[in-house]
């Protein structure tokens, strides 16, 4: 009996080891890939990009664009909208996006899905034009899109060094109204 138990235990251990190895292989092979944008949104963004005209007054010098490896990401999430701004370390804006730009209207602008989509738009532009790869995240506001925007920054290939909440809080604020007499 004891020999049979030992054999059963050995077989069980081998299958556990094989299962854990196969899980490890799956994790290494599957790199997190950001989802593609919806087709109608892609078409709209291409149309906007084509319709942009260069400024007539100022002309940029031809040559290499500025390469920025690290920068800052500002997420402003309100009850009605979410705005993502990606800057370099000096605060110069590299790219930005908001829910209205992505085609969301009304109450859909403040949703976590809208925050995820606009984060992808802003990150793609900053990566493509400036090579941004690492950000410090500053979150302001109380809206529903704040957490999903930070998750989307990480999911779209930016390394997040730290996250700071910069929502303004009153230290007793302005004087309150006089109470109503009823």
**Per-residue confidence in pLDDT tens, the chain, 182 aa:** 556 555 555 544 554 444 434 434 444 444 455 677 888 888 888 887 788 766 666 666 666 778 999 999 999 999 999 999 999 999 999 999 999 999 999 999 999 999 999 999 999 999 999 999 999 999 999 999 999 999 999 999 999 999 999 999 989 999 999 999 98
The pLDDT of residue 50 is 81
In the chain, the number of structural domains is 1
Instruction: Say how far apart CA 124 and CA 157 lie, in whole Å.
Output: 9
Q: Is 87 helix (H, G, I), strand (E, B) or coil?
A: strand
Helices 112-130 and 146-155 pack at an angle, to 10 degrees, of 40
Tell me if 61 is assigned to some domain.
Answer: no
| CATH number, position 118 | 3.30.420.80
In a domain, 52, yes or no: no
Give a yes or no: residue 18 inside a domain: no
Question: For residues 122 and 97, is the Cβ–Cβ distance under 8 A?
Answer: yes
Q: Is the entire prediction scored with pTM above 0.85?
A: no
Domain annotation covers residue 147: yes
CA distance 88 to 95: 10
pLDDT at 15: 44
116: containing domain: 67-165
Domain assignment of residue 10, yes or no: no
Is residue 159 within 8 A of residue 133, CB to CB? The reply is yes
135 domain-assigned = yes
Q: Which residues fall within 8 angstroms of residue 143, CB to CB, at 6 or more apart?
A: 77, 78, 79, 80, 81, 82, 110
* pLDDT score of 89: 96
Within a domain: 16: no
3-class SS shares of the chain: helix, strand, coil, % to 5: 40, 20, 40
Task: Give the max Cα distance, the chain.
Answer: 92
Q: Which helix (H) or strand (E) holds 93?
A: strand 93-98
On whether residue 40 sits in a domain, the answer given is no
């Amino acid at each position: 009996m004891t020999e049979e138990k030992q054999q059963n235990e050995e077989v069980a251990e081998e299958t556990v080891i094989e299962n854990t190895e196969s899980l490890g292989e799956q994790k290494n092979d599957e790199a997190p890939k950001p989802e593609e944008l919806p087709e109608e949104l892609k078409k709209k963004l291409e149309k906007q990009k084509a319709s942009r005209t260069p400024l007539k007054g100022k002309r940029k010098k031809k040559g290499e664009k500025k390469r920025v490896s690290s920068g800052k990401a500002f997420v402003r999430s309100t009850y009605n909208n979410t705005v993502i701004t990606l800057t370099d370390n000096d605060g110069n804006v590299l790219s930005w996006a908001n829910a209205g730009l992505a085609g969301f209207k009304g109450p859909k602008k403040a949703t976590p899905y809208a925050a995820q989509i606009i984060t992808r738009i802003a990150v793609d532009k900053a990566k493509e034009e400036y090579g941004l790869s690492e950000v410090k995240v500053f979150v302001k506001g109380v809206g529903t899109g704040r957490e999903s925007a930070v998750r989307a920054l990480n999911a779209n290939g930016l390394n997040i060094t730290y996250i700071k909440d910069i929502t303004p809080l009153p230290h007793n604020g302005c004087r309150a109204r006089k109470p109503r007499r009823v």
